[in-house]
Amino acid sequence: MANTDGPTRQKIRVAAYELLKEKGVDGLSMRALADRLHIKAPSLYKHVQDKDEIVADLQARGLEEFGAAIKKAGKSKRAKALTYRKWALENPHLYEITVSIPLLRDRIPAGLEDGVTAMIIEITGKDHEQARAVWALMHGLVDLEIAGRFPKDANLDLTWKRAIAMI
């Protein structure tokens, strides 16, 4: 069997993290990851069960870093919202892997997702439904922006201002 918790596994994790940041989700292939470690792709499977394990790990890191960024932001809704956007745009690949591909719930630490969700809920108030709407608003804005769905002459700063006013 494989050693799924040795030091090489840690190297794989950081290499995957760097590779994701540099090349994005599409560039994150097992062979590219192996290359970075001067290893052949099949050898990765001595340390990792499958690619989803790597993806899940990155999703977890994304959620953690994202949560930390929001927590560090100012207390106002406005500051939190702007931080949401800022973080997503500064970490598009990390944002993408956590939110634009299916979240591997079974393989990320339990409670992580709930923790982030709870934090977002705190931004708005105590009503979960309202909070989800606000979250959707921010996610939608960021997602459409990253996907390039807005025309490039769109005034997104102003759009966010309007969005925050809606909250």
Partner DNA sequence: CTCCCTCGCTAACAGTGTTAGCCTGAAATT
Partner DNA sequence: AATTTCAGGCTAACACTGTTAGCGAGGGAG
Q: Could you give the count of Cα atoms lying within 13 Å of 85 in the half-sphere of its Cβ?
A: 20
- Is the CB of residue 97 less than 8 Å from the CB of residue 54? no
Residues 114-153 vs a copy of itself: string with x where CB under 8 A?
---x---------xxxx-xx-xxxxxxx-xx--xxxxx--
Which residue has tokens 């931080």? 83
Residue 162 touches a copy of itself, criterion: CB under 8 A: yes
Shortest Å, Cβ 162 to a copy of itself: 5
Q: At what angle do helices 112-124 and 51-72 cross, to 10 degrees?
A: 30
The DSSP result for 13-25, as a single string, is HHHHHHHHHHHHH
Q: Which letter does DSSP use for residue 28 in this model? A: -
* Dihedral over alpha carbons 90, 25, 153, 86 (to 10 degrees): -20
Distance in Å, CB of 37 to a copy of itself, minimum? 29
Contacts with DNA, residue ranges (CB under 7 A):
1-3, 6, 8, 28-32, 34, 38-43, 45-47, 50-52
> Could you give the CA distance from residue 69 to residue 5 in angstroms, rounded to a whole number?
28
Contact partner at residue 66 from DNA, a copy of itself, none, CB < 5 to 8 Å by partner kind: none
Q: Cβ 131 to a copy of itself, closest distance in Å? A: 9
The nearer residue to DNA, 51 or 139, going by C-beta atoms, is 51
Taking the complex as a whole, how short is the minimal distance between the CB of residue 134 and DNA, in angstroms?
A: 35
Q: Which chain residues interact with a copy of itself by CB under 8 A? A: 99-100, 102-103, 117, 127-130, 132-133, 135-141, 143-144, 147-151, 154-156, 158-163, 166-167
